[in-house]
Amino acid sequence: MPKRFRLAAVGLALAATLAWASGDAAAQARKSLEVRMGWQPLAGGSAIITNHMIREKLFEKQAAKFGYDLKIDWKTFPSGPPSNEAMIAGQLDMDMHLAALPTVNRIAVGVPVVPIAVVGSNIANAVMVAPKSAINDISMLPGKTVGLPLGTSAHYVFASVIFTHFGKSTEELGIKLINMPVTEAIKMPTGIDAAAVWVPVRYIGPHLGTAELLVDGNGWTGKGYKNPGTRTPEVQKAWAYPEGYNTDRIYGFVHEKFLADHPDVIVAYLLALSEAQDWVLANFAKAVDDGAELWKQEKIISDTTLQTYAETAGIRRAPIILEWDILTLIKASEFLTFAKVRDKPLTFDGVKALLMKGAAVQKRAYDAMTNKNSVEDMKKGFRGKTALYGEILINGGAPIWEWAATPDWGKRVYVEGPFPK
Domains along the chain with CATH numbers: 36-123+252-413 (3.40.190.10), 126-237 (3.40.190.10)
pLDDT (average), residues 140-166: 95
Element (H, E) at 351: helix 348-355
> How many helices (H) and strands (E) would you count in the chain?
16, 12
How far apart, in Å, are the Cα atoms of 133 and each of 125, 130, 177, 203, 229?
A: 20, 5, 18, 17, 17
Under 8 Å between Cβ of 254 and 94: yes
Please enumerate in sequence order all residues whose Cβ is within 8 A of that of 63, keeping only pairs 6 or more positions apart, or say none.
Answer: 33, 69, 70, 264, 265, 268, 269
C-alpha closest to that of 211 among 220, 219, 202, 198: 202
Kindly report the pTM of this predicted structure: 0.90
φ, ψ (nearest 5 deg) of residue 111: -65, 125
Query: Could you give the CA distance from residue 308 to residue 123 in angstroms, rounded to a whole number?
Result: 7
- Each residue's pLDDT tens digit, 173-205: 999 999 999 999 999 999 999 999 999 999 999
> 363-380: b or e for each residue (b if 16 or more CB lie within 10 Å)?
bbbbeebeebbebeebee
C-alpha closest to that of 399 among 419, 372, 421, 418: 372
Mean pLDDT score of the chain:
92
Longest dimension (CA), the chain: 103
Please give the pLDDT value at position 88.
87
C-alpha closest to that of 57 among 227, 272, 202, 230: 272
**Crossing angle (nearest 10°) for helices 263-282 and 284-295:** 110
- Each residue's pLDDT tens digit, 104-148: 999 998 999 999 999 999 989 999 999 999 999 999 999 999 999
pLDDT (average), residues 308-316: 97
Percent of the residues in the chain that have a pLDDT greater than 70, as a whole number = 93
Under 8 Å between Cβ of 85 and 38: no
